[in-house]
Structure 1
Amino acid sequence: MKKIGYTTGVFDMFHIGHLNVLKRAKLECDYLIVGVTSDELSMSAKSKKPIIPFNERMEIVEAVKFVDEVVPQTSYDKMEAWNNLKFDMMFVGDDWKGTDKWNKIEKEFNEFGVEIMYFPYTTHTSSTILRKALGDLVK
């Protein structure tokens, strides 16, 4: 049986940390679906408008050879995503591991046989670090 994996992200200013997550996720599944966060969802959740426009971020992620399908992420409701996509595994940064939110999601998904796999967060490169390095250029 084909194992379907799912992960999400803003993927703003695509960098090595993004590539590593996608590469690692693809090693764990046969078919990888990636949700790219919409500008609106990013604004409502983080009060940050991505530097790279949504359609371009979708296109960049689609071009990555480890990715089989790209979908817009317009909601953070993971059960809604599962209802639409029926994935077997979900990949998340380990900075979320053990949080109340993700403990609850793990418990919910466990009932459906969905495994949550946490990957190490890339600390030396992140969009936040890149944003700070760019400073006034992105304000």
Structure 2
Amino acid sequence: MRTIITFGTFDVLHIGHVKILQRARAQGDRLVVGISSDALNFSKKQRNPVYPEGERRDIIASLGCVDEVFIEESLELKGEYIKEFGAHALVMGNDWEGRFDEFKSLCEVIYLPRTEGISTTQLIAEIKKYG
């Protein structure tokens, strides 16, 4: 069984999230998704996510292409998460190209193209404009 792992905030779920998760799952037999904790998200983006980590975890877990979800507490633990879940490949969007190559000694690293024309940051800005 080939296990794939990926990481993200997955706030304000949109078609880009769904497509990359489906394409990640197609790389193997099992997809494990690390959801950034609220604290980790704040440390990365200086803002809290729209949806709290428990809700984001439940939303992602409800997708048919996802087999397991966990809360990612620290960026420095990515290698440990890869080992813990026995991942054969780490899949990330190509906007992160090269940033996860350090894990090539642990597993294959695959960068998939993002869905054109959509981003969570863009969606939040649009919602604020009309909200």
TM-score, length of structure 2 as denominator length: 0.92
Q: Deviations over 1:76-115 (max 9, x none)?
A: 12212123222000111101113xxx2xx42x43333x11
* Equivalent runs, 1:119-138 vs 2, <5 Å: 119-135=112-128
Residue 7 of structure 2 corresponds to residue 8 of structure 1: yes
- Residue identity in the other structure for 2:35: V
- Residue identity in the other structure for 2:42: M
Of all paired residues, the percent bearing the same amino acid is 35
By how many angstroms is 1:122 displaced? 2.3
Aligned twin of 2:61: 62
The answer to which of 119-128 and 41-50 deviates more is 119-128
* Equivalent runs, 1:19-38 vs 2, <5 Å: 19-38=18-37
1:118 to 1:136, Cα distance in 2 relative to 1, 3 A? same
**Distance in 2 of aligned mates of 1:42 and 1:67:** 21
By how many angstroms is 1:54 displaced? 1.1
Is there any run of 5+ residues in structure 1 with no aligned partner, and where?
none
Aligned twin of 2:41: 42
Number of equivalent positions: 130
2:110 to 99, 103, 117: 117
**Cα RMSD after superposing both structures:** 1.5
4+ residue stretches of structure 1 with deviation over 6 A? none
Is there any run of 5+ residues in structure 2 with no aligned partner, and where?
none
**Distance in 1 of aligned mates of 2:65 and 2:114:** 19
SS of equivalent residue, structure 1 residue 134: helix
By how many angstroms is 1:63 displaced? 0.3
- Residue identity in the other structure for 1:7: T
- Residue identity in the other structure for 1:32: L
